[in-house]
Structure formats: structure tokens, C-alpha cells
Amino acid sequence: MIKKIVRNADNNYNTNLASEYLIMSILCRTGKDAFLSLGNKKGVDIIVKTNLGAICIVEVKGVNKRNDWLITNSGTFTTAPNLIYALVCYNGKIDDLGSTPDFWFIPSIKLAENTEHKIAKNGKTVYISNKYVRENYTEYKNSTKYLEEYLNAF
């Protein structure tokens, strides 16, 4: 018997790509000068020009279910004054085009100070707790308010 392979974002690793395009769409819909970086080995997902002409880096992390977000495999949580993490969660419904994923735009420095991080046994893989973000960053959920404040400040 031949088994048919169903390809979707949940089983072929397209969740992050779908998340990047979702965030890019949000940025464009809100009138931002945003530029998507393409490629497999890129170091930056999206670059946004601030209102004063500076550069903001948006690092997009997506999960289909309510798993923790894999942030890096370098062993350290990357922060910078101009780095914002866009966390996306499809709540197990990535194949349902009628459902709306949740997203958070959170400055990297704030995440590093106030978030539960987990480091895998290999000592390199860093995760951010999905549960912790949901419980402690409600004001950031599905909002561009803090991104707007950041872009207006620099």
C-alpha cells in the first residue's frame, strides 16, 4: 500500500516562513517601511526603517501549536536595542485559513529581562516559554502598539 504524504506547514517546516510573511503583511498593512530578508542561512528576518531613519531588526519566531519558541542554537539569548522579536502562534490551526494566529512584538531587551528562558540539554538551543508569554505579555498580544512606540522613538 502506498502511503500518501500530506504536505503542510506542520510537517514540512514552513511554519517560520508563513510566520515571516504574516508579520511582513502586518507591517505593510500598518504603513511601515519593511524589507523581508530571503534565504535559508540569513541572520535577519525583517528590517524596518524607523520614523527617524534608523534600522529596527525584527526576528520572527513561529510555532504551529502552543510549543515554546526556539530562539537560537547559539546558547545565548540575543538582545540589542534595535532588535524586536515577533512571536507567532497558530494555536494548532495553521491549516485553517479562517483562523487568526496570535502574535506579539516584544523588544529583545524586555524579553531577556522578564521572560522564562529554557536552554536544552545540548547547552545551545534556547527557547522562550509560550505559556509565560501568554500569561505575562497580554498587552503585546495582537497589537503593534509597542512596535509603534519603538519606531517613533528612534
Domains annotated for the chain, with CATH where assigned, are 8-153 (3.40.1350.10)
**For position 12, what pLDDT does the model report?**
44
The percentage of the chain sitting over the pLDDT mark of 90, rounded to a whole number, equals: 73
Lowest mean pLDDT of 25-29, 36-40, 105-109, name the range. 36-40
Write the pLDDT tens digit of every residue in 54-100: 999 999 999 999 999 999 999 888 899 999 999 999 999 999 999 99
Give the integer Cα–Cα distance in Å for 46 and 79.
15
